[in-house]
Amino acid sequence: MVAHIIYVVSDSVGETAELVTKAAISQFNGSNAILKRYPFVEDIDNINEVLAMARNDQGMIVYTLVKPDIREYMKEQAKEQQINAVDVMGPIMDMFERNFDKAPLNEPGLVRLLDEDYFKKVEAVEFAVKYDDGRDPRGLLKADIILIGVSRTSKTPLSQYLAHKRYKVANVPIVPEVDPPNELFTIDPSRCIGLKISPEKLNHIRRERLLSLGLDDKANYANIERIEREMEYFDKISTKLGCTIIDVTNKAVEETANIIINYIQKRI
């Protein structure tokens, strides 16, 4: 069986061109096709090399080139040398340019950067879920940010918000009856953020929470004396850690998150 050689050419890594080529080949059951990826094509010399190889092998070319001059050169030379070549990216970009009434960036590899950003975000969200509420202290050693605070100081919502900004966040509840994990005292204190809140505000939040669950709002969980003891214990632990403290009493999650991000960026 004759082997059909297909050069997959790109000014980036060539994943898009190869995926499209393989999808098309799959429709021709039993055909013998050999793919040769030729990535990071940057200039006319690279194009000439590919054209020479394709001409010598009687091969075909499938290409994704975003730079207009390089793309046009490939198109003209392939036609002139009677080499079968398919431009995967050009026609779509031309159509989008007409319809968007906007010139493209013409920068190779942007989709890969977007994919990497997306997967980093997914990884951070999964991390926040896995190490929420002190479930596994080992997460403290891997986290970019560790949040500590008593119950209902927005540790979980903050962890998720920061995860969507690609930060790996673990959080630890501070409860007088439970010693914090040992790992908390081994980390760099600059990665730890303590969330403080006024007892009166926390009392209101906890009472509303109990009522929403159909429970008595006079339970010990919302008792002001109990809350004050919790806050004293929080002060003791945060002082021992030497961590930065943020008062979240009258702050929205987004506002607190921005303060944390600014702090982390300055620290870096």
| Alpha carbon distance 152, 222 (integer Å) | 11
Residues 168 and 127: beta-carbon distance below 8 Å = yes
Contacts 24+ apart (CB under 8 A), 157-162: 157/253, 158/195, 158/253, 158/256, 158/257, 158/260, 159/128, 159/132, 160/125, 160/128, 161/253, 161/254, 161/257, 162/124, 162/128, 162/257, 162/260, 162/261
Q: Is 152 annotated as a binding residue?
A: yes
Q: Is 238 annotated as a binding residue?
A: no
Q: Is 256 annotated as a binding residue?
A: no
Residues 70 and 53: beta-carbon distance below 8 Å = no
| Alpha carbon distance 197, 150 (integer Å) | 9
Laid out side by side, the sheet with 33-38 consists of 33-38, 4-10, 60-64, 85-87
**What 8-state DSSP symbol labels residue 217?**
T
Q: Is 149 annotated as a binding residue?
A: yes
Strand 60-64, strand 33-38: pairing: unpaired
| Alpha carbon distance 217, 173 (integer Å) | 21
Q: Is 186 annotated as a binding residue?
A: no
Find the length of the chain. 268
Q: Is 155 annotated as a binding residue?
A: yes
Give strand pairing partners of 34.
5
| Alpha carbon distance 70, 75 (integer Å) | 9
Q: Is 214 annotated as a binding residue?
A: no
In the structure encoding, which two tokens stand for residue 203, read together? Answer: 């009392």
Q: Is 190 annotated as a binding residue?
A: no
- Which residues are annotated binding-site positions for ADP? 149-156
The annotation places the binding site at 149-156
